[in-house]
Amino acid sequence: MEYKKITIVISPYQEWLRDIITAQLADIGFDSFVDITNGVEAYVPLNLYQKGELNAVLDEFSEDFSFSVKSELIADRNWNEEWEKNYFKPLVVADECVVRAPFHKEFPHLKYEIVIEPNMAFGTGNHETTSLMLEHILKSDLTGKQVLDMGCGTGILGILCSMKGAKKITAIDIDQWSFDGTLGNTKLNKIFNIDVKLGDAGLLSDNNFDLILANIQRNVLLNDMPAYNHVLNEGGTLIMSGFYSEDIPAIKEKAESLGLKDVGYTVKNNWVAYTFLKV
């Protein structure tokens, strides 16, 4: 698949603005991002690229910031080689879990080891939202639990849940790359209790879960929270991420309107993971 690489340099540079732009680009088809000095490299499948949509995202902030934008056509290539050379390094989470690629030869040997085949899917663990969710999972006793991973990306969260003793995991993503990547990564890690589905919250029907992990985006979370609540068992936990500190009031209001109990949240570089309990 051919990709369009868009390099955006922000002036004056603000990390929070880079994160907002990244999130908005993800809403219009961009599916992989690399942070650079003073900006971001964003990748989008060539058939999904719309210059007008990109300009609309940047125009929203044009009164206070200027942008240098360069585009480049990226032919289909060996993404393992690209990530090995440039981006994906072994990641250690909470001194308990290491996330690495198959090509990594040197890495710390910890209690949990997750192998992720790098591709254009989001979720190698390096983004704050993914690492926040991994940290929550590491603190949890998942023995015998039924788990839902919404917006599964590479499948990394579900894989760790399985390693932590979950009985069965349902992993759902709307993106074909994520669906394929999760299938491949579950086999790579010899995980056999993850059911991977392509689609959205409409697939949930009458399944029931003890833990729901939803690392998506603010508007999707607000829209789909009633569906999550419907399939969450009494005493079950909902952990949501993919949004910013300024979105906390909206997330809290929606969750509490459904009868969910606020358990607290953690923040990393303005990204949030928020936990609620069904009582």
Cβ–Cβ < 8 Å for 31, 44: yes
- Flag whether 72 is in a domain: yes
CA–CA gap between residue 186 and residue 237 (Å, rounded): 24
Residues 140 and 274 in one domain: yes
Is residue 184 a part of any domain in this protein? yes
Length of the chain: 279
DSSP annotation of 186:
H
Domain identity same for 179 and 249? yes
Comparing CA positions, the residue from 129, 122, 127 lying closest to residue 154 is: 122
Residues 249 and 164 in one domain: yes
Nearest to 223 by CA among 262, 251, 260, 261: 251
Judge if 30 and 152 occupy the same domain. Answer: no
- What CATH number is associated with residue 64? 3.30.70.100
**15-27 and 51-59 helices cross at what angle (nearest 10)?**
150
Q: Are residues 149 and 42 in the same domain?
A: no
What pTM, to 2 d.p., does this model score? Answer: 0.74
- Say if residue 198 is in the same domain as residue 265: yes
Q: Do 265 and 273 contact (CB within 8 A), yes or no?
A: yes
CB atoms within 10 A of CB 266: 15
Identify the DSSP state of 90: -
Return all residues near 165 (Cβ < 8 A) that are at least 6 apart: 141, 142, 143, 144, 145
For residues 40 and 146, membership in a common domain is answered with no
Q: Answer yes or no: do 150 and 258 share one domain.
A: yes
C-alpha span between 126 and 88 (Å, rounded): 8
143 and 42 in a single domain? The answer is no
Q: Are residues 145 and 233 in the same domain?
A: yes
> The CATH number of the domain where 159 resides is what?
3.40.50.150
Kindly state whether residue 91 falls inside one of the protein's structural domains: no
243 in a structural domain = yes
What's the token pair of residue 188?
């790579």
Is 120 part of a structural domain of the chain? no
Residue at which a domain ends, from 76, 108, 139: 76
Residue 41 within a domain? yes
With contact defined as beta carbons under 8 Å apart, do 40 and 8 qualify? yes
Show the domain range for 41. Answer: 3-76
Same-domain pairing of 68 and 133: no
**Residue 110 maps to a domain:** no
> In angstroms, rounded to a whole number, what is the distance separating the alpha carbons of residues 206 and 141?
24
- C-beta separation of 265 from 278 below 8 A: no
* pLDDT one digit per residue (tens) for the chain, 279 residues: 688 999 999 999 998 899 899 989 988 988 778 888 899 999 888 889 999 999 999 999 999 999 999 999 987 665 555 655 566 678 899 999 999 988 888 899 999 999 988 764 455 666 788 899 999 999 999 999 999 999 998 899 999 999 999 999 999 998 887 898 899 999 999 999 999 999 999 999 878 999 999 998 888 999 999 999 999 999 999 999 988 899 999 999 999 999 999 999 999 988 999 999 999
Q: Tell me, yes or no, whether 96 lies in a domain.
A: no
Count of the separate structural domains present in the chain: 2
Helix, strand, coil percentages (3-state) for the chain, rounded to 5, are: 35, 35, 30
Judgement on whether residues 132 and 71 belong to the same structural domain of the protein: no
User: What phi and psi values does residue 229 have, to the nearest 5 degrees?
Assistant: -60, -35
